[in-house]
Amino acid sequence: MEMKQPKGKDIHVNLKGVTICCDDFGTGNIPIIFIHGFPFDKSSWEPQMEFLKHTHRVLAYDIRGFGKSTLGEENMTISLFADDLVELMDVLQIDKAVACGLSMGGYILLNAVNRYPERFEALILSDTQCIADSPEGKEKRYKTIDQINEDGLKDFAEGFVKNAFCPDSLENKKELVEKIKDIILTTSPITITGTLSALAKRPEMCSTLNEILIPVLILCGEEDTVTLMTQAAFLNRNIANSEFNSIGKAAHMSNLEQSDEFNRWLSQFVSKWQ
């Protein structure tokens, strides 16, 4: 039996081969676990953690290689990230959780709920999709890997934030944009390129959507050009017990660009789990 872990900020949890850094606040029978997108870290969930920690137990963690989590030696895959999530729940003695994933976090959740359905009470899928990369998408990721290996992360980070935020955010929320850019620039290039490869190789999960029977909230920024609103609508049509809400004046970082609206939908959805 594992010793009960302490709670608070920057808790280091030892899994098989890696150390995962997580924040764990509040109390509740059904915790809410937040899974960040690529190439961010757990700090990208701060508005949601702050908002819910007084009413729920909330956790956010750095995916292996990101933030303060170690990389390990295994080749990165979405399935490996999903295994890490469930193993983290095991160590923290969490039998069941409501889980919220943005972008790659959503890919991880679709993989995890397919393989470990009994571990999830409900899902929040934000700015994400079930499709695999197209051949063109894969080629673009591999070209990005070559570019990073040759030139470093500066151009990649610049281009990424331009695509991730809507024009209004780029103009009026420059501090937020710079914060996300800094997170990217302080991430190991090996982590970035390894994860790009994992994203390129991920399988489609669209054929598994009809197996998801738990409640699902789908959120997407109306100006998201990374994962389009049409993909969010597809998730909604194919997951039986789901609801879909779009978020105006937001692109791929909807939880940060319009945190109040995101939190309002989130709060309504999770109110039944304390």
Question: For 104-123, what is each residue's pLDDT tens digit?
Answer: 999 999 999 999 999 999 99
pLDDT of residue 57 exceeding 80, the answer is yes
Domains along the chain with CATH numbers: 8-132+203-270 (3.40.50.1820)
Question: For 8-54, what is each residue's pLDDT tens digit?
Answer: 999 999 998 899 999 999 999 999 999 999 999 999 999 999 999 99
Q: Quick check: 51 and 14 in contact, CB under 8 A?
A: no
Torsion of CA 37, 258, 51, 28, to 10 degrees: -50
CB under 8 Å to 150, separation ≥6 — which residues? none
Radius of gyration over every alpha carbon of the chain, rounded to an integer in angstroms: 17
261: left (phi over 0), alpha (psi -120 to 50) or beta: alpha
What pLDDT shows up at residue 16?
A: 87
| Structure confidence at residue 4 as a pLDDT band (50, 70, 90) | low
Question: For 171-212, what is each residue's pLDDT tens digit?
Answer: 999 999 999 999 999 999 999 999 999 999 999 999 999 999
Among 6, 76, 63, 54, smallest CA distance to 35 is for 63
CB under 8 Å to 229, separation ≥6 — which residues? 220, 222, 246
What pLDDT shows up at residue 263?
A: 98
Among 191, 190, 194, 256, smallest CA distance to 219 is for 256
Q: Quick check: 52 and 33 in contact, CB under 8 A?
A: no
The chain-wide mean pLDDT, for the chain, equals 96
What pLDDT shows up at residue 274?
A: 79
Mean pLDDT of 243-253: 98
What pLDDT shows up at residue 6?
A: 78
Q: Quick check: 229 and 222 in contact, CB under 8 A?
A: yes
Distance between CA 138 and CA 90 in Å, rounded? 34
Among 266, 243, 242, smallest CA distance to 254 is for 266
Q: What is the H or E stretch that residue 122 is in?
A: strand 120-126
pTM of the model: 0.97
Distance between CA 53 and CA 130 in Å, rounded? 30
CB under 8 Å to 193, separation ≥6 — which residues? 145, 148, 149
pLDDT of residue 141 exceeding 90, the answer is yes
Among 219, 190, 202, smallest CA distance to 82 is for 202
What pLDDT shows up at residue 103?
A: 98
24: left (phi over 0), alpha (psi -120 to 50) or beta: beta
Q: Quick check: 34 and 64 in contact, CB under 8 A?
A: no
User: In this predicted model, which residue has the larger pLDDT, 272 or 65?
Assistant: 65
Q: What percent of the chain has pLDDT over 70?
A: 99
Q: What percent of the chain has pLDDT over 90?
A: 96
